[in-house]
Structures are given as C-alpha cells and as structure tokens.
Structure 1
C-alpha cells in the first residue's frame, strides 16, 4: 500500500523531466532548421558547440529529423530535405513564441463579452488564442484542434465541443468528413483560424488540403472571420487554398511583418493589425560563435 501512494509522485517527476527534455530537443531542432534556411547546408561537427550539447545528443536529434523527413545527412553534412515543408507541431511551438503569445492575447480581446458560439482551428498560434480565451465562461467553442481543446479546458470554464474526424499527427488536429459535418451543424458568431501562408494575391493558404477544407468550412459558417498568423507566414503561399483575402474580416499578425505586405492587405479592405513584438538583438537570425 505504501508503494501505491509513493509511485504516482515518481511518475509525475519522470513525466515533468521528460517534458522538459522533449521541449529542449524541439528547440534545438527549430534552431537547426533556421540555420539551414539561412545557409542551405551545415557541417555536423560545428553543431555541438553552436547548440551547447554533446555530439551524441546532436546525432540523436539529426537521426530523428532524418526519420521524420526534415533533413538529409551525408559525409558529415546536413541539408534540409523539404524547404518550406510543414513542420511537426511540437517544433513549431518553439518558434516565434512571443509573437504568438501577443497575437493570442490581442485576438481574444476582439471577442465581445457576451454568450457566443465560436469556431477555433488547430495550430500553434491558435493554442495561444485558446489560452487567452480559457478564462471566459460565456463561450461555446467548437474546435478540430486537439491542442486547442486542451488549452481551452485548462480552467474548466469554456464549454468545448471537439469535432469528429481523422487525426493529422503533424498538426494535432482532426480533418475529414466527420470534422466537416460537425462544423456544418453550427452557425458561429466568430471563427478564428490559423494560416501557413497569407498573400494578397494567393489568399489564405495551408500546407494540407484536408486542413484547408476544414478551415474553409469554419469561415463559411461564421458571421465574423478572423485569421491569425505570425509575421513569418506573410508573403508565403502554399498549394492548399483556404480562401481569398477578401473573404475574411480581420488578420492579426506581428510588427515584424513586411510593411509592404501589410499595406497591400489593408488595401483589400481587410482590417490588418500587427501587435508590437520587441526586436531581438540579432533580428531573429541564428549564427555560429
């Protein structure tokens, strides 16, 4: 009986330690991918010093990245396997975190304080929107995002409905006919979706056709349509189109966005708001040494 009471404490400690280990690994992967976007290829022998970890740790990280199709390794070098490809949600969580946090806070402030029914998509920026909305007790939120749902239920105040569908493991969201049918049974006061690309010409785009279909249904069923995306998404266009720019009412991004693109979006009549994010010392570029 004594062991029965003690064991959960050990399990919790092990779980917390594993979570920290995974988070640090995902941060390293994010840095390696950023370096590859800047340089094209990297010499593996420089990475332990650049990242402050052992060679064995780097080899494990690169093996995982190669296994998931993010990089290719050969003759002591590593190159990006798919530039612009969709990254796992765990890696994206460690990218542009402060911008996403501020976007989430501002977006939640746009939602009036009265009983409302909302649709929220999945995605790492949406996770911060959900965390900001979790203090509301006057909302019913329908979501296909598994991480979004977890963040919304943290305070046990928001009434959360999760759609059916098939899980996409890269993004931790639900897609397919089950998700679409769930969404079409509602009329939403607000829909808030994320985006992988926002371009005045190409519109709102995603990596995944199935993900784009679900986002499109959310927007179609909503009175007010909001798109959230950090500045790295502006100017990009992917093959799965969600909607034209003119179909949405509001875009929320951050102050690192290209002013010319923001101006072009505003010319279409869409309210485009950029939250202020303090500039970093190295302007977001990762360097050796």
Structure 2
C-alpha cells in the first residue's frame, strides 16, 4: 500500500499545486495530519508551501525532479536493486531515479561501495553505516548538485566496476540516449569507460523527449529499467540493439 507521502507527491505531479484543505479531503485525513506529512516533505526540499498551498519544487532542481512521477521512479529504483548483491561496488551518476535507487539500496542491501559524481546522492544517503560512498571530484554544478569537468575522468580511472547506473533526459532512434547538459553528458561518458555494463533507469515518458547532447555510449548500455508505458516500438528497437528492457 502506498503511504500518504507517495500519494501527496502523485497528486502534486498531476496538479503542480494544491490547497492543504483539498489535499486532506482527498486523502481522508485531517489538515493537521496533512501538515505533518508536508513538513517532512518540505524538510527534504521536495515540496514547498505558500499560504495554505503545497507546491512542487522546480523541476530544474534535483528535489523537484525526484517529486515528479515519484511513485514510478521509486518502483524503478526498487526493481534495479535486484541487480545488486551485498558487498558489491557500483557507480551511480546524478539524477532523480538514481537518487531514489541509492536510497532503496540503503534499505535493501548492505556492505556496498557506491562511487558517484553526485554530491546530492552522497548527502541523500549519509549516515548509513553499512555503506561506503566515494565522491568523485570536479567542478560543482549548484542546481544539479553534481561534479563535472576533466577531474571526473581522472578520478574515475582509479576504479573498475561491473555496473554503472545512469538516468537520461531523453532518447531518439538516431542519437540514442541524450542529456541536456554538455558537461554532465561528458561526465557520464567518462564514468561509463570504467564499467562493464551501463544500466539506464528512467520513466517511459523520457522516450518521447530528447536532450540536445547525445551520450554516445556506443554498446555500453545493456539494460533499461522503465515502466510498462514504454512504447512497443521503442522496446523492440532497444532489444534489436541487444539492450534488455525490464519493466515495472
């Protein structure tokens, strides 16, 4: 069963903003109870409140992107944990699905080492005693809270992993998986060089969009985990490129 926080985020994804009184009515609880739930979400930076109204944070911000289609992303993240065994060392790049994946790992796995260029993810899962987080150095991008630049490659070259988990801003048949930011795209390429397989975590909506920067991962992408709304044509196309599609 979904908890109220998940239901609140789903409602905000649809409405973008909603009155606290209406939210309480839809959830069948008191306004006091809803305010407590909103306090928790606001403390994580996922939502904000103004004069009795709850709003999603901007989708340009990593917290806002986590809130958008939250439940779908959470289910994708949980499914991705099935690829991981206790004691593994993996790489994770920045992004909302990846952040929720890292969070799911802390609940379901132990003794992992996570190598990431995301300061947000490192902070998001801080305090988990069974985990070691290695944060790659570089130029800090404030909005996405991610490290980029030539130092990423220098740092990543110190590691070799089996699996590298990434998100995507879009996809096209011609360009493959894409990103909106040139420096973040290059960071993904540099990290992918140190992995045997790249796993893409994304909601199906991204397959109807595309960023301006191709990731150019060649044959590196081996698995895509997404929801069942992915078009059959796209799924077949991915399969034809020897990419396994897992749906939730």
TM-score band, normalised by shorter chain: 0.7 to 0.9
Q: Does 1:188 align with 2:161?
A: yes
Change (3 A) 1:20 1:141: closer
Change (3 A) 1:18 1:24: closer
Q: Give the SS at the match of 1:109.
A: helix
CA RMSD of aligned residues (A): 2.9
Q: Does 1:218 align with 2:191?
A: yes
Q: Is the 8 A contact 2:197 2:220 kept in 1?
A: no
TM-score (ref. length: structure 2): 0.75
TM-score (ref. length: structure 1): 0.65
Q: Give the SS at the match of 2:219.
A: helix
Change (3 A) 1:138 1:200: farther
Q: Give the SS at the match of 2:184.
A: helix
Change (3 A) 1:17 1:209: same
For each residue in 1:223-274, what CA deviation from the matched residue of structure 2 results, as whole angstroms up to 9, or x when unmatched?
1221111111113221212124632110111112222212221121100111
Distance between the aligned counterparts of 1:24 and 1:150, measured in 2?
18
For each residue in 1:50-109, what CA deviation from the matched residue of structure 2 results, as whole angstroms up to 9, or x when unmatched?
xx84xxx99xx9xx97xxxxxxxxxxxxxxxxxxxx722122121110111011011111
Distance between the aligned counterparts of 1:142 and 1:101, measured in 2?
21
Change (3 A) 1:162 1:258: same
Q: Is the 8 A contact 2:189 2:217 kept in 1?
A: no
Larger radius of gyration: 1
Q: Which residue of 1 aligns with 2:27?
A: none
Q: Which residue of 2 aligns with 1:88?
A: 61
Q: Is the 8 A contact 2:47 2:64 kept in 1?
A: no
Q: Is the 8 A contact 1:186 1:221 kept in 2?
A: yes
Q: Which residue of 2 aligns with 1:274?
A: 247
Which structure 1 residue ranges, 5 or more long, are not aligned?
1-12, 29-47, 66-85, 276-289
Q: Does 1:24 align with 2:47?
A: yes
Q: Is the 8 A contact 1:212 1:240 kept in 2?
A: yes
Q: Give the SS at the match of 1:215.
A: helix
Q: Which residue of 2 aligns with 1:124?
A: 96
Q: Which residue of 2 aligns with 1:227?
A: 200
Q: Give the SS at the match of 1:249.
A: strand
Aligned length: 210
Q: Which residue of 2 aligns with 1:207?
A: 180
Distance between the aligned counterparts of 1:213 and 1:146, measured in 2?
17
Change (3 A) 1:19 1:143: same
Distance between the aligned counterparts of 1:19 and 1:258, measured in 2?
35
**Cα offset for 1:20?**
5.2
Q: Is the 8 A contact 1:202 1:244 kept in 2?
A: no
Which of structure 1's runs of 4+ aligned residues deviate more than 6 A?
none
Q: Which residue of 2 aligns with 1:142?
A: 115
Change (3 A) 1:258 1:177: same
